[in-house]
Structure 1
Amino acid sequence: MPACSSPSRRRARPRAALLTGVLGSVAALLVTGAGPAVAAPPSPDKPIRSGQAWMGAGTRIEQGPASGADGGLTAMDTSGVQGIDVSHWQGAINWGSVKAAGIDFAYMKATEGTSFKDSSFNANYTNSYHAGLIRGAYHFARPNVSNGATQANYFASNGGGWSRDGRTLPGVLDIEHNPYGAMCYGLSTTQMRTWVNDFYTAYKARTSRDVVIYTTASWWNTCTGNWTGMSAKSPLWVAHWGTASPFVPSGFPTWTIWQYTATGRVSGVSGDVDRNKFNGSMTRLQALANNTA
């Protein structure tokens, strides 16, 4: 993939005001909506507390504005099989309304590092299932605090497991720009490759499933050194906003899930939410859940 020269930036999370232009700004401290008021996440120029990260908390080099609606780049791609990803930052969610709005799958944060559990995971995981969505869990990686196998086992023991019920997707390794410090968590490309492979191996031993990798082309190409070692093992969930076609990290043939905006709107969720598209039909999504893909 060709390198992109867009400047680095960090997005504001759901419940904060929409980003305006490439620089963006945070205009609210509290967000209200369905359920009780929820404190807005930290603004882009302030550090977040350990354990409070989410999908996309890190800097994105290749991204422009968080959505086509903000930057006028492209319309959001709401065709095909649609999903969302959430964490405690979304507060209370009406999953029945989410399903009625045409959302077929959802991932929710379960764990981070070796000791943090998302406070909304149990409610999101259970209620999305009962509303009829296909759902799964993700782990926010902290390669600087332990080896990959330790975090994979922590994830598998705290929400990241899998069962062949037709409604549970394989777990996700969310590995991206470090929102707490150095982009690559202080690891060399060789060390990072080992870390990712150890996470994959331990997770598969625990669950029998290949872990899905969520990342950006910029992070993966930089921090793993354009590694091709996971392309035949893990489905790719690529994050790239405000574009008609996402950049795919080196070595991966294509994307399985594409996070195309950070400022989507869905009935049943207050404020902004990440929107995602599955690369295939509903039958193929069910096959991924059943491990028959």
Structure 2
Amino acid sequence: MRLSAVLALLLVGFALSGCGSRPDSGAAARPSPETTNSVTQPVVPVPSADVAETQAAPQQEELAWAGQVPQPQAFEAVATEGMAIPTERPVALMTPDNPATAARPGRRAQIYSRQFRDAHPINFGSRSPRKLAVHGVDISRWQGEIDWDKLRTQGANFAYIKATDGGDHLDPMFRKNWKRAKEAGLKRGAYHFFYWCRTAGEQADWFIRNVPRDPQALPPVIDVEYNGESSCKRRISRAKVLEKMQVFMDKLERHYGQRPVIYTAPDFYRDNLDGEFKNHPFWLRSVAAHPSKVYPGRKWLFWQYSGSGLSHGVEGRIDLNVFHGSEEDWHGWVAGL
């Protein structure tokens, strides 16, 4: 009887020690490896910014330049509730018949003439972009390290810099490009590649979180187009496209005090934007003909006329753009921002 009691006590002790070593069922699960990114991950290395320039001690500083992080909208329908849209839009940010306005007194930035080359030049005839005075570029991580001073003297008087796409992707070169373009004297703005599988409110919050509110910057840009390489394969209705764009643009306009510019391409414009957003400035891609032939009746502010530009200061090809107006028009438009 005594031996049986001892054995029983030993068995109870082993059972209790086994319970103590069992993992806690209430412990936090590991983070999911899934990412929701509108850009398919490349199979080749891409340039990234220097660690010293991109790594910040506090995590908040690494992600957010523009102050407190706005809360994402749960549903797009509530994105406009309780947030009044300005009834008076800044006239200089629309696309006027003639963009010239009276410039404020002050020193004007030098305008450099176009020195770019083109790997696949197009003859645009009598309406060549060469006849317009103020040229610029748009860039992203794919241009790698840029000599901004040299690029400017080649004719890049302005630059639109890739900032974000979707609701979670920040171009790794954005901070460096944003800083160095300004140091080189270019007028610069930021653009967002719109991702149709995320809500517009989330995407606007992400852009605001990462792009500084700089009164000297060009208006923000929403890039809307079809992208066969995107991980989002959805083709939503025209009505839904317009609704999403409106939510996104209204939110940016409230935050930055500037009406966003719409960048688009011919096929997307034909299916979704023809006749829409008449009070918004447009930036049109048209690499084979003048915009008046590809987008009849549409006023435009910027024209992307080449995707195969070549320039000192940049390795490889670069997109070339031009402002719709004279040098005087440019100075007047910039002064009104």
What corresponds to 1:263 in structure 2? 308
Q: Does 2:191 match 1:191?
A: no
Structure 1, unmatched stretches of 5+, are 1-28, 37-66
* 1:168-179 pair list within 5 angstroms: 168-179=217-228
Structure 2 counterpart of 1:203, from 241, 252, 260: 252
CA distance in 1, matches of 2:124, 2:202: 41
Matched-pair identity in %: 28
Does the CA-based 8 Å contact 2:139-2:318 persist in structure 1? yes
CA distance in 1, matches of 2:266, 2:247: 21
- TM-score, normalising length from structure 2? 0.60
CA distance in 2, matches of 1:124, 1:181: 24
SS of the aligned residue for 1:254 comes to: coil
After TM superposition, give the deviation of residue 181 of structure 1 in Å.
5.7
After TM superposition, give the deviation of residue 186 of structure 1 in Å.
2.3
CA distance 1:68–1:121, shift in 2 (3 Å): closer
SS of the aligned residue for 2:120 comes to: helix
Does the CA-based 8 Å contact 2:119-2:309 persist in structure 1? no
Does the CA-based 8 Å contact 1:112-1:142 persist in structure 2? yes
Structure 2, unmatched stretches of 5+, are 1-43, 51-116
After TM superposition, give the deviation of residue 253 of structure 1 in Å.
3.4
Counterpart of 2:248 in structure 1: which amino acid?
A: F
After TM superposition, give the deviation of residue 204 of structure 1 in Å.
0.7
CA distance in 2, matches of 1:105, 1:261: 15
After TM superposition, give the deviation of residue 282 of structure 1 in Å.
3.5
After TM superposition, give the deviation of residue 257 of structure 1 in Å.
0.3
What corresponds to 1:278 in structure 2? 323
Structure 2 counterpart of 1:231, from 260, 266, 278: 278
SS of the aligned residue for 2:262 comes to: strand
* 1:1-293 pair list within 5 angstroms: 70=120, 73-74=123-124, 77-79=129-131, 80-144=133-197, 146-159=198-211, 161-165=212-216, 168-180=217-229, 185-224=234-273, 226-228=274-276, 230-232=277-279, 234-247=280-293, 249=295, 253-290=298-335, 292=336
After TM superposition, give the deviation of residue 30 of structure 1 in Å.
9.0
After TM superposition, give the deviation of residue 206 of structure 1 in Å.
1.1
CA distance 1:151–1:227, shift in 2 (3 Å): farther
CA distance in 1, matches of 2:237, 2:291: 30
SS of the aligned residue for 2:263 comes to: strand
Counterpart of 1:164 in structure 2: which amino acid?
A: P
Does the CA-based 8 Å contact 2:46-2:142 persist in structure 1? no
After TM superposition, give the deviation of residue 153 of structure 1 in Å.
2.2
Structure scoring higher RCO (CA < 8 A, sep ≥ 6) equals 2
Does the CA-based 8 Å contact 2:118-2:310 persist in structure 1? no
After TM superposition, give the deviation of residue 151 of structure 1 in Å.
1.0
- TM-score, normalising length from structure 1? 0.68
Deviation digits for residues 32-78 of structure 1 (CA, Å, limit 9, x no counterpart): 9xx99xxxxxxxxxxxxxxxxxxxxxxxxxxxxxx986375448733
Question: Aligned-residue CA RMSD in angstroms?
Answer: 3.0
Counterpart of 1:109 in structure 2: which amino acid?
A: K
Deviation digits for residues 109-166 of structure 1 (CA, Å, limit 9, x no counterpart): 000100000011111111111111101100010022x22222122112212x44323x
The count of aligned residue pairs is 224
Does the CA-based 8 Å contact 1:177-1:184 persist in structure 2? no
